[in-house]
Structure 1
Protein backbone atom coordinates (compact mmCIF):
# COMPACT_ATOMS: atom_id res chain seq x y z
CA UNK A 1 0.00 0.00 0.00
CA UNK A 2 1.35 3.43 -0.93
CA UNK A 3 2.13 5.58 2.09
CA UNK A 4 3.00 2.75 4.46
CA UNK A 5 6.23 2.91 6.48
CA UNK A 6 7.94 0.07 8.29
CA UNK A 7 9.98 0.80 11.47
CA UNK A 8 13.57 -0.39 11.18
CA UNK A 9 14.62 -0.77 14.83
CA UNK A 10 15.62 -4.41 14.43
CA UNK A 11 17.66 -4.22 11.26
CA UNK A 12 21.33 -5.09 11.17
CA UNK A 13 24.07 -2.51 10.83
CA UNK A 14 24.49 -2.94 7.08
CA UNK A 15 20.75 -2.58 6.47
CA UNK A 16 20.65 0.55 8.63
CA UNK A 17 23.54 2.07 6.65
CA UNK A 18 21.69 1.39 3.40
CA UNK A 19 18.51 2.96 4.75
CA UNK A 20 20.45 6.04 5.82
CA UNK A 21 22.03 6.29 2.35
CA UNK A 22 18.63 5.89 0.70
CA UNK A 23 17.18 8.54 3.01
CA UNK A 24 20.02 10.93 2.24
CA UNK A 25 19.50 10.35 -1.49
CA UNK A 26 15.76 11.06 -1.21
CA UNK A 27 16.51 14.21 0.78
CA UNK A 28 19.04 15.39 -1.82
CA UNK A 29 16.63 14.76 -4.69
CA UNK A 30 13.74 16.38 -2.79
CA UNK A 31 15.74 19.51 -2.10
CA UNK A 32 16.96 19.54 -5.70
CA UNK A 33 13.33 19.44 -6.81
CA UNK A 34 12.57 22.39 -4.55
CA UNK A 35 10.09 20.44 -2.42
CA UNK A 36 9.58 20.56 1.32
CA UNK A 37 9.05 17.36 3.27
CA UNK A 38 5.39 18.30 3.55
CA UNK A 39 5.04 18.85 -0.21
CA UNK A 40 6.69 15.50 -1.01
CA UNK A 41 4.51 13.82 1.59
CA UNK A 42 1.37 15.30 0.03
CA UNK A 43 2.38 13.93 -3.37
CA UNK A 44 2.94 10.39 -2.10
CA UNK A 45 0.45 10.05 0.74
CA UNK A 46 2.84 10.46 3.68
CA UNK A 47 2.99 13.00 6.50
CA UNK A 48 5.99 15.28 6.66
CA UNK A 49 7.00 13.42 9.84
CA UNK A 50 7.05 10.15 7.88
CA UNK A 51 9.14 11.74 5.12
CA UNK A 52 11.54 13.02 7.79
CA UNK A 53 11.88 9.55 9.32
CA UNK A 54 12.39 8.02 5.89
CA UNK A 55 15.11 10.56 5.08
CA UNK A 56 16.87 9.84 8.37
CA UNK A 57 16.79 6.08 7.82
CA UNK A 58 14.47 5.50 10.76
CA UNK A 59 11.69 3.97 8.67
CA UNK A 60 11.54 2.02 5.45
CA UNK A 61 8.73 1.85 2.96
CA UNK A 62 7.55 -0.51 0.27
CA UNK A 63 8.34 -0.46 -3.40
CA UNK A 64 5.03 1.20 -4.24
CA UNK A 65 5.82 4.24 -2.11
CA UNK A 66 9.40 4.38 -3.42
CA UNK A 67 7.98 4.37 -6.94
CA UNK A 68 5.61 7.23 -6.02
CA UNK A 69 8.54 9.13 -4.48
CA UNK A 70 10.60 8.66 -7.65
CA UNK A 71 7.69 9.99 -9.75
CA UNK A 72 7.22 12.97 -7.42
CA UNK A 73 10.95 13.73 -7.65
CA UNK A 74 10.93 13.30 -11.44
CA UNK A 75 13.52 10.53 -11.43
CA UNK A 76 13.59 6.81 -12.04
CA UNK A 77 13.35 4.26 -9.26
CA UNK A 78 17.01 3.23 -9.80
CA UNK A 79 17.99 6.91 -9.39
CA UNK A 80 16.83 6.68 -5.78
CA UNK A 81 19.54 4.07 -5.21
CA UNK A 82 22.39 5.75 -7.08
CA UNK A 83 24.50 7.19 -4.28
CA UNK A 84 27.81 5.72 -5.32
CA UNK A 85 30.74 7.88 -4.29
CA UNK A 86 31.64 10.40 -6.93
CA UNK A 87 35.06 11.71 -7.77
CA UNK A 88 35.97 15.12 -6.46
CA UNK A 89 34.91 17.86 -8.84
CA UNK A 90 37.40 20.36 -10.18
CA UNK A 91 36.88 24.03 -9.35
CA UNK A 92 35.53 24.60 -12.88
CA UNK A 93 33.11 21.70 -12.54
CA UNK A 94 31.90 23.02 -9.19
CA UNK A 95 31.30 26.46 -10.74
CA UNK A 96 29.42 24.82 -13.62
CA UNK A 97 27.29 22.80 -11.18
CA UNK A 98 26.44 25.96 -9.21
CA UNK A 99 25.47 27.77 -12.43
CA UNK A 100 23.28 24.86 -13.50
CA UNK A 101 21.70 24.68 -10.04
CA UNK A 102 21.01 28.42 -10.24
CA UNK A 103 19.26 28.01 -13.60
CA UNK A 104 17.33 25.01 -12.28
CA UNK A 105 16.11 26.97 -9.26
CA UNK A 106 15.10 29.87 -11.51
CA UNK A 107 13.18 27.43 -13.69
CA UNK A 108 11.44 25.95 -10.64
CA UNK A 109 10.32 29.42 -9.54
CA UNK A 110 9.29 30.43 -13.09
CA UNK A 111 11.80 33.28 -12.86
CA UNK A 112 13.69 34.13 -16.04
CA UNK A 113 17.49 33.88 -15.89
CA UNK A 114 19.35 37.14 -16.22
CA UNK A 115 21.75 37.83 -19.06
CA UNK A 116 24.57 37.51 -16.49
CA UNK A 117 23.36 34.02 -15.50
CA UNK A 118 23.37 32.88 -19.13
CA UNK A 119 26.73 34.51 -19.89
CA UNK A 120 28.29 32.82 -16.84
CA UNK A 121 27.00 29.43 -17.94
CA UNK A 122 28.29 29.92 -21.50
CA UNK A 123 31.68 31.08 -20.17
CA UNK A 124 31.99 28.00 -17.95
CA UNK A 125 30.96 25.62 -20.74
CA UNK A 126 33.44 27.19 -23.15
CA UNK A 127 36.23 26.98 -20.56
CA UNK A 128 35.44 23.29 -20.01
CA UNK A 129 35.46 22.65 -23.79
CA UNK A 130 38.86 24.38 -24.18
CA UNK A 131 40.38 22.25 -21.41
CA UNK A 132 39.15 19.03 -23.04
CA UNK A 133 40.79 19.96 -26.34
Structure 2
Protein backbone atom coordinates (compact mmCIF):
# COMPACT_ATOMS: atom_id res chain seq x y z
CA UNK A 1 0.00 0.00 0.00
CA UNK A 2 1.32 3.40 -0.92
CA UNK A 3 1.74 6.07 1.80
CA UNK A 4 0.36 9.45 1.00
CA UNK A 5 2.54 12.35 2.13
CA UNK A 6 0.62 15.25 3.58
CA UNK A 7 1.62 18.79 2.89
CA UNK A 8 2.32 20.98 5.92
CA UNK A 9 -0.96 22.82 5.48
CA UNK A 10 -3.07 19.63 5.29
CA UNK A 11 -1.22 18.15 8.26
CA UNK A 12 -1.89 21.32 10.20
CA UNK A 13 -5.55 21.35 9.21
CA UNK A 14 -6.02 17.78 10.38
CA UNK A 15 -4.34 18.30 13.74
CA UNK A 16 -7.18 20.37 15.16
CA UNK A 17 -7.54 24.07 15.98
CA UNK A 18 -4.36 26.06 16.25
CA UNK A 19 -3.59 28.71 18.77
CA UNK A 20 -3.35 32.03 16.90
CA UNK A 21 0.17 33.32 16.54
CA UNK A 22 1.20 36.53 18.29
CA UNK A 23 0.41 38.78 15.32
CA UNK A 24 -3.03 37.34 14.65
CA UNK A 25 -3.98 37.52 18.35
CA UNK A 26 -3.94 41.31 18.04
CA UNK A 27 -6.85 40.96 15.62
CA UNK A 28 -8.95 39.58 18.51
CA UNK A 29 -8.38 42.59 20.79
CA UNK A 30 -11.39 44.77 21.48
CA UNK A 31 -11.23 48.47 20.57
CA UNK A 32 -11.13 49.25 24.30
CA UNK A 33 -8.11 46.97 24.78
CA UNK A 34 -6.36 48.50 21.77
CA UNK A 35 -7.07 51.99 23.17
CA UNK A 36 -5.57 51.04 26.53
CA UNK A 37 -2.51 49.55 24.84
CA UNK A 38 -2.00 52.75 22.88
CA UNK A 39 -2.48 54.92 25.99
CA UNK A 40 0.04 52.79 27.88
CA UNK A 41 2.48 52.98 24.98
CA UNK A 42 2.16 56.75 24.79
CA UNK A 43 2.64 56.98 28.56
CA UNK A 44 5.81 54.89 28.38
CA UNK A 45 7.14 56.96 25.48
CA UNK A 46 6.44 60.22 27.35
CA UNK A 47 8.17 58.96 30.48
CA UNK A 48 11.12 57.72 28.41
CA UNK A 49 11.39 61.04 26.59
CA UNK A 50 11.22 62.95 29.91
CA UNK A 51 14.24 61.00 31.05
CA UNK A 52 16.14 61.53 27.78
CA UNK A 53 16.34 57.79 27.16
CA UNK A 54 16.40 56.25 23.71
CA UNK A 55 14.43 53.14 22.88
CA UNK A 56 17.76 51.33 22.68
CA UNK A 57 18.69 52.40 26.22
CA UNK A 58 15.30 51.41 27.63
CA UNK A 59 15.47 48.07 25.81
CA UNK A 60 18.87 47.40 27.35
CA UNK A 61 17.66 48.36 30.83
CA UNK A 62 14.72 45.95 30.65
CA UNK A 63 16.46 43.16 28.76
CA UNK A 64 14.19 43.32 25.71
CA UNK A 65 14.73 44.17 22.06
CA UNK A 66 14.30 47.62 20.58
CA UNK A 67 11.53 46.14 18.42
CA UNK A 68 9.67 45.13 21.59
CA UNK A 69 9.95 48.62 23.09
CA UNK A 70 8.85 50.18 19.80
CA UNK A 71 5.88 47.83 19.51
CA UNK A 72 4.78 48.63 23.08
CA UNK A 73 5.13 52.39 22.58
CA UNK A 74 3.09 52.26 19.36
CA UNK A 75 0.34 50.29 21.09
CA UNK A 76 0.88 47.28 18.84
CA UNK A 77 1.52 45.01 21.80
CA UNK A 78 1.04 45.15 25.54
CA UNK A 79 3.82 44.29 27.95
CA UNK A 80 3.35 41.39 30.30
CA UNK A 81 3.32 42.03 34.03
CA UNK A 82 7.06 41.39 34.49
CA UNK A 83 8.01 43.57 31.52
CA UNK A 84 5.73 46.40 32.68
CA UNK A 85 7.30 46.16 36.13
CA UNK A 86 10.79 46.31 34.57
CA UNK A 87 9.78 49.31 32.46
CA UNK A 88 8.41 51.14 35.51
CA UNK A 89 11.61 50.42 37.44
CA UNK A 90 13.82 51.57 34.52
CA UNK A 91 11.79 54.79 34.21
CA UNK A 92 11.85 55.45 37.94
CA UNK A 93 8.10 55.27 38.52
CA UNK A 94 5.94 52.86 40.47
CA UNK A 95 4.14 50.11 38.60
CA UNK A 96 0.80 51.78 39.31
CA UNK A 97 2.08 55.18 38.12
CA UNK A 98 3.00 53.62 34.79
CA UNK A 99 -0.73 53.25 34.14
CA UNK A 100 -1.72 56.70 35.41
CA UNK A 101 -2.46 58.73 32.28
CA UNK A 102 -6.00 59.98 32.86
CA UNK A 103 -6.62 63.62 33.76
CA UNK A 104 -8.63 63.62 36.99
CA UNK A 105 -11.02 66.41 35.99
CA UNK A 106 -12.28 64.35 33.02
CA UNK A 107 -13.37 61.39 35.14
CA UNK A 108 -16.98 60.36 35.62
CA UNK A 109 -18.22 59.96 39.23
CA UNK A 110 -17.80 56.17 38.93
CA UNK A 111 -14.25 56.60 37.62
CA UNK A 112 -13.48 59.01 40.48
CA UNK A 113 -14.63 56.32 42.94
CA UNK A 114 -12.37 53.85 41.16
CA UNK A 115 -9.48 56.33 41.35
CA UNK A 116 -9.96 56.54 45.13
CA UNK A 117 -9.79 52.74 45.32
CA UNK A 118 -6.67 52.71 43.15
CA UNK A 119 -5.02 55.28 45.41
CA UNK A 120 -5.89 53.21 48.48
CA UNK A 121 -4.45 50.14 46.80
CA UNK A 122 -1.35 52.08 45.72
CA UNK A 123 -0.78 53.33 49.28
CA UNK A 124 -1.21 49.79 50.57
CA UNK A 125 1.26 48.13 48.18
CA UNK A 126 3.77 50.93 48.62
CA UNK A 127 3.55 50.62 52.41
CA UNK A 128 2.29 54.17 52.90
CA UNK A 129 -0.83 53.23 54.84
CA UNK A 130 -2.13 51.08 57.62
CA UNK A 131 -5.38 49.84 56.12
CA UNK A 132 -8.45 49.36 58.22
CA UNK A 133 -10.52 46.22 57.93
CA UNK A 134 -13.05 48.29 55.96
CA UNK A 135 -10.31 49.28 53.46
CA UNK A 136 -9.35 45.63 52.99
CA UNK A 137 -12.98 44.59 52.47
CA UNK A 138 -13.64 47.41 49.97
CA UNK A 139 -10.48 46.65 47.99
CA UNK A 140 -11.16 42.90 48.00
CA UNK A 141 -14.73 43.46 46.78
CA UNK A 142 -13.52 45.80 44.03
CA UNK A 143 -10.89 43.32 42.85
CA UNK A 144 -13.40 40.47 42.96
CA UNK A 145 -15.94 42.52 40.99
CA UNK A 146 -13.34 43.46 38.37
CA UNK A 147 -12.20 39.85 38.05
CA UNK A 148 -15.75 38.58 37.58
CA UNK A 149 -16.42 41.23 34.90
CA UNK A 150 -13.36 40.08 32.95
CA UNK A 151 -14.31 36.42 33.31
CA UNK A 152 -17.95 36.98 32.38
Fold shared per TM-score above 0.5: yes
| Count of residues paired in the alignment | 82
On the 8 A contact 1:9/1:58 being kept in 2, the answer is no
What are the ranges of 5 or more consecutive residues in structure 2 without an aligned counterpart?
Answer: 1-21, 106-152
In structure 2, distance between residues paired with 1:9 and 1:58: 10
- Aligned position for 1:33: 51
- Aligned position for 1:60: 78
- Aligned position for 1:9: 27
Structure with bigger RCO (C-alpha 8 Å, 6+ apart): 1
Q: Which has the higher strand share?
A: 1
Detail structure 1 runs of 4+ shifted over 4 Å in the superposition. Answer: none
Greater Rg over alpha carbons, structure: 2
What are the ranges of 5 or more consecutive residues in structure 1 without an aligned counterpart?
Answer: 1-5, 88-133
Counterpart of 1:59 in 2: which secondary structure?
coil
The root-mean-square deviation of aligned C-alpha atoms, in Å, is 1.5
- Aligned position for 1:78: 96
TM-score normalised by L of structure 1? 0.58
